[in-house]
Structure 1
């Protein structure tokens, strides 16, 4: 796979993630300013609308991609986002805005579409590295969007940003159409998919799905309440709380941009349990922290654990993925990740209501520990196959 093709896919995903991940933190501003809706509960419900819709539609679009082509699916996702963003920017009332967010979820799914397309061009460790870069583009968007959009909203109404930024997915369509080659023909894809289904490692895919759900659940559990909890705990400014919130994502990007992204330790089967253990410990450090320094150490440890987990999960995904059923597999995994995020957000709210704002941190630690236990379990026949695979590498 050429660097040019990878760059086009990464740029396309980054621009989509910039809006899809960057605008939700400002939903409170949009609902209050554009639609005179100020109840805090509405913000939470609007936050999960696109996530739920993506979770519902991702497996379907994955199967469609396997039948009609992964580049087509990628173009479809970008066009769907462009249309949804325009509708969001023009929405005359709160119900139309909700419909726009639902369409964003149903018609989007750029991460799964991009991953499936990359799997037609690369396999094994090359695909794993491409998936690592995909995660990097998402985390870059999460770091940049709050700052960029915060500045833009001082000049432009928050809702109007959707209209101004809707050209980005359209630009991505032009780049993909011009520089990303079409994948295998429909007939060849169906033939390969039939062969794959005969010997598909179903048990390993199910195990990967559980690990994917557990990791995403534990990651998202702390998102909704971290900033207000940090401010209440340390009496810090919003800027400092935002910096601490972003710190784990910065660690991931720092590793990704150095030669350590390809270090051999990430290829060991033990790397996922180690990453989950570090991840769980980082939550415990944060839960008992009483100073900004201790909290920062916990966030740095969280970044290290998150990086190890993502590298290991991406490598496992690349090992199991094939070009034939990539759309279905990546669509399913994306849907599972979205359902994990929805469940984590809801349970975080319940635990915070029953306890305090630190409760989601304990929830994240418990889930990471349970996922760690699952990661150490492997059926005997699959463990033997995995051992042989590692020996060949």
Structure 2
């Protein structure tokens, strides 16, 4: 009888919880990505005048929140297990609302980087919402619910750059941050007052602690798992090394409305990834996930080369869209290979490590792209990223796993 109240709460409120989580994840992802089209312009506005320094500081500022998020994600996960997921979502939404508003008040580049670090430190709404939906939804509807949440997250990645391209010319860069903070605050209010979380059952004080599982010792063939962590990091690296410098690149192409076109270029990649993910996933189920990852890496590497020498912005839009098709199939296939390569008992933990490896790419990508673009020119960023992806595809082709995940 003691288990009935939590079950009742789940059955009564899971749809409302899902709606709140989709809203919160969408708004926070939009807030994290909307500054991409105008980030170099904001860096210049804050007093950085040297073109190479603008590109480099743009990469540092964009990668900063992913660094702090990677460092604090395990802490928020443990606190969520102890005190509840709703409390962590309240913390993340309120913290993001404050951080985004303060970014609009930054007076120099160091304050901007520090506030971006703060945003990553306090954020994590989307990952927390995923765990809450997975645990607070009836099992027979959990797949649909998680799919809806994933759609909200992808929609945020698609919408953020477009909003960031449209709003600054209309209301100003600083007011754009204030507006984003206000929208996230609405998500905070919805999370605090509309969400109902079932209490987690507590372990009795005299019960024995569960035995510690040594995850790596249970994996018979560690090679495919390790390779997939490298690929996951490289996928995010390839995206993040390019996007923070796209605005500067478009300026060099003498684009008329730079911020709007930068938003279109970035959104084209996200839109293509959304459209291709499920279709490439079905293809991988038929021909094998390992082969599809090699194919997607190779296609992305090839498509990066002509991006280095486009003559107008629409050529870049088309090439980024085509590259997004290839990138869309990578992360689902990576997750499938890891899932098929490890025992059920440690699958969640190993997939969590995959997320951490993506954080590594999200940090190193902007830093590397900013440095190379600022010191050696924009084409070098595309060429180096292409060589890395081609090298990874070659390594996978030369080192197939003992049992390929199909």
Residue 67 of structure 2 contacts residue 359 of structure 2 at CA under 8 Å; is this kept in 1? yes
What secondary structure, in the 3-state scheme, does the structure 2 residue paired with 1:358 have? Answer: helix
Partner residue, 1:214: 234
Compute the displacement of 1:213 (Å). 0.8
Residue 119 of structure 1 contacts residue 322 of structure 1 at CA under 8 Å; is this kept in 2? no
Partner residue, 2:91: 76
Structure 1, gaps ≥5 residues long: none
1:298 aligns with 2:319: yes
Partner residue, 1:112: 127
1:339 aligns with 2:354: no
2:328 to 307, 315, 326: 307
Query: Partners in 2 of 1:341 and 1:181 — Cα distance?
Result: 31
Query: Partners in 2 of 1:192 and 1:272 — Cα distance?
Result: 40
Alpha-carbon displacement from aligned partner over 1:246-271 (angstroms, at most 9, x marks no partner) = 32222123446xxx559632434233
Residue 335 of structure 2 contacts residue 351 of structure 2 at CA under 8 Å; is this kept in 1? no
1:56 aligns with 2:71: yes
Compute the displacement of 1:15 (Å). 0.2
Query: Partners in 1 of 2:344 and 2:130 — Cα distance?
Result: 11
For residues 77-156 of structure 1, the aligned pairs below 5 Å read 77-90=92-105, 96-120=111-135, 136-154=151-169, 156=171
Compute the displacement of 1:93 (Å). 6.4
Query: Partners in 2 of 1:302 and 1:192 — Cα distance?
Result: 48
RMSD: 4.3
Distance 1:56 1:330, change over 3 A: farther
Query: Partners in 2 of 1:59 and 1:220 — Cα distance?
Result: 23
Partner residue, 1:163: 178
Query: Partners in 1 of 2:284 and 2:196 — Cα distance?
Result: 29
For residues 340-355 of structure 1, the aligned pairs below 5 Å read 340-352=361-373, 355=376
TM-score normalised by L of structure 2: 0.73
Query: Partners in 1 of 2:125 and 2:282 — Cα distance?
Result: 30
1:265 to 270, 283, 292: 283
Structure 2, gaps ≥5 residues long: 1-9
Distance 1:9 1:223, change over 3 A: same
Residue 64 of structure 2 contacts residue 113 of structure 2 at CA under 8 Å; is this kept in 1? yes
Residue 248 of structure 1 contacts residue 303 of structure 1 at CA under 8 Å; is this kept in 2? yes
Alpha-carbon displacement from aligned partner over 1:342-371 (angstroms, at most 9, x marks no partner) = 322232244435643211112222222233
Query: Partners in 2 of 1:318 and 1:71 — Cα distance?
Result: 28
Distance 1:98 1:303, change over 3 A: closer
Distance 1:26 1:128, change over 3 A: farther
Query: Partners in 2 of 1:243 and 1:333 — Cα distance?
Result: 29
Residue 303 of structure 2 contacts residue 322 of structure 2 at CA under 8 Å; is this kept in 1? yes
Residue 63 of structure 2 contacts residue 363 of structure 2 at CA under 8 Å; is this kept in 1? yes
Residue 85 of structure 1 contacts residue 104 of structure 1 at CA under 8 Å; is this kept in 2? yes
Distance 1:287 1:87, change over 3 A: closer
Query: Partners in 2 of 1:168 and 1:191 — Cα distance?
Result: 46
Compute the displacement of 1:11 (Å). 2.1
Query: Partners in 1 of 2:139 and 2:304 — Cα distance?
Result: 32
Partner residue, 1:26: 38
For residues 221-232 of structure 1, the aligned pairs below 5 Å read 221-229=241-249, 232=252
Alpha-carbon displacement from aligned partner over 1:291-330 (angstroms, at most 9, x marks no partner) = 777655533321210111133234456666979995x666
2:388 to 347, 363, 367: 367
What secondary structure, in the 3-state scheme, does the structure 2 residue paired with 1:23 have? Answer: coil
Distance 1:355 1:213, change over 3 A: same
